[in-house]
């Protein structure tokens, strides 16, 4: 069914919303206030034509926008884009009963994303098409760091050698770190060695196993250099890691002891240890081992005690949380079990970093219900042109 309608609002996934006969229709690439012609199927609307564009509509900077699903917001002007991202943070908090305003919106795209996963399929290599399971073949991606400029070509070459695969790239000081995932049982790693040499890769791994390492993939974190484990987590941009670390360091002053929970490879712990002892824990044993190695070779750091511990199933209890400050940077699921223990601990300062606004709001509500005050709520825009946002907030105990 083809209809003409006016878009009423923008949903949290960046899609225009129009109400027809009391039901919501979601229209990718449409903006609030626009009169559009669209094809409707179920609760989805395919944009056919913009009859009256919004004053907030701008020309996208990438010719793949609208077909490639990697970006959702390139057509939205700067002020409206910022307001949309801020609402992504504030709205879930309000729904959780917390009225809080973002104090700062920090652009953190830097030189582009240093991490990306491209899909190699029969139709090419790139991100999935908008609302599709088909891949949009890319020749270039302007939201990536220049060090990843050859990523589409490398992913295509890997697809030719192995068949269908997901190819993750990380730009490091030593070159590109490439990790391949494929369901093909007959995948032959020896086919990949010439590709690693041809593209000058620092490291190449297949299904979690090393195929070739020309150089250890290294990243700098404060005074330390960390050798990344295969498939380890890293903030999407170097600029975001620096900005988040600066926030954390300022928020915990003048704490004399700090616990860094969900520490990963140590982007916060290694910087925090420049001034005070740090306890660091994460369920990822390889990440904890990498942090510990980096700590041993870095100069001028206070002691770091790094432990592998599943903080979802075995959180630090209120009796173990004998620290002046605690930093949490959990994955998308949040840190509910650990937050419940923190709420009973009396820790003076809790700094929470989050990549999912809903789980953040849930965990923040646990702390505020225990009397903790939320302050300095900041949005970091490292996932530029997408509907994701990084969040940082400080919680102070009632006794402060």
Instruction: Give CA–CA dist 250/13, Å, rounded.
Output: 32
Residue 355 is a catalytic residue: yes
Rounded-to-10 torsion of CA 311, 316, 321, 325: 0
CB 93 within 8 A of CB 30: no
Exposed (0-12), middle (13-18) or buried (19+): which is 399, by Cβ within 10 Å?
A: exposed
- The total of other beta-carbon atoms located within 10 Å of residue 67's CB is 15
Task: List the catalytic residue out of 71, 141, 263, 355.
Answer: 355
What secondary structure does DSSP assign to 149-195, as a single string? Answer: TTHHHHHHHHHHHHSSEEEEEEEETTEEEEEEE---TT--GGGGHHH
CA distances, 392 to each of 160, 286, 287, 352, 375 (Å): 42, 26, 22, 6, 10
| CA torsion through residues 204, 172, 282, 373, sign | negative
Alpha helices in the chain (DSSP H): 78-95, 151-162, 193-199, 238-252, 269-272, 285-297, 336-343, 357-369
Report residue 394 as tokens: 């400080």
Q: What is the largest distance, in Å, between two alpha-carbon atoms of the chain? A: 67
What is the distance of C-alpha 246 from the center of its chain?
18
179: preceding bond cis by omega (within 30 degrees):
no
Instruction: Give CA–CA dist 69/265, Å, rounded.
Output: 30
Q: Which residues are designated catalytic? A: 355
């Amino acid at each position: 069914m083809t209809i003409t309608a006016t878009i009423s609002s923008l949903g949290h996934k960046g899609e225009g919303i129009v109400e027809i006969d009391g039901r919501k229709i979601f229209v990718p690439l449409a903006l609030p206030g626009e009169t559009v012609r669209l094809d409707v199927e179920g609760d989805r609307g395919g944009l056919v034509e913009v009859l009256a564009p919004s004053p907030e509509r701008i020309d996208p900077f990438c010719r793949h926008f609208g077909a490639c699903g990697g970006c959702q917001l390139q057509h939205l002007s700067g002020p409206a884009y910022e307001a949309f991202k801020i609402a992504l943070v504030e709205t879930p908090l309000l729904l959780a009963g917390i009225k809080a305003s973002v104090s700062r919106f920090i652009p953190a795209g830097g030189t582009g994303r240093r991490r990306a996963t491209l899909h190699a399929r029969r139709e090419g290599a790139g991100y999935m098409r908008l609302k599709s399971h088909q891949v949009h073949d890319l020749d270039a991606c302007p939201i990536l760091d220049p060090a990843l400029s050859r990523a589409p070509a490398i992913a295509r070459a890997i697809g030719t050698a192995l068949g269908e695969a997901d190819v993750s790239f990380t730009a490091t000081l030593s070159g590109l770190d490439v990790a391949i995932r494929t369901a093909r049982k007959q995948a032959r790693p020896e086919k990949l060695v010439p590709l690693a040499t041809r593209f000058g890769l620092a490291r190449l791994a297949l299904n979690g196993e090393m195929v070739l390492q020309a150089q250890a993939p290294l990243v700098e974190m404060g005074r330390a250099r960390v050798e990344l484990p295969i498939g380890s987590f890293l903030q999407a941009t170097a600029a975001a890691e620096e900005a988040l670390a600066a926030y954390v360091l300022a928020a915990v002053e003048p704490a004399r002891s700090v616990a860094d929970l969900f520490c990963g490879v140590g982007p916060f712990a290694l910087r925090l240890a420049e001034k005070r002892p740090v306890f660091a824990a994460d369920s990822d044993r390889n990440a904890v081992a990498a942090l510990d190695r980096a700590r041993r070779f870095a100069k001028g750091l206070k002691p770091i005690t790094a432990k592998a511990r599943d903080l979802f199933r075995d959180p630090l209890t209120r009796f173990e949380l004998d620290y002046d400050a605690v930093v949490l940077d959990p994955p998308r699921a949040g840190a509910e079990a650990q937050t419940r223990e923190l709420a009973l601990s009396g820790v003076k300062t809790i700094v929470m970093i989050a990549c999912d606004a809903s789980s953040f709001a849930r965990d923040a509500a646990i702390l505020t219900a225990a009397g903790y005050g939320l302050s300095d709520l900041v949005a970091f825009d490292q996932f530029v042109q997408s509907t994701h946002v990084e969040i940082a907030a400080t919680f102070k105990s009632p006794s402060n």
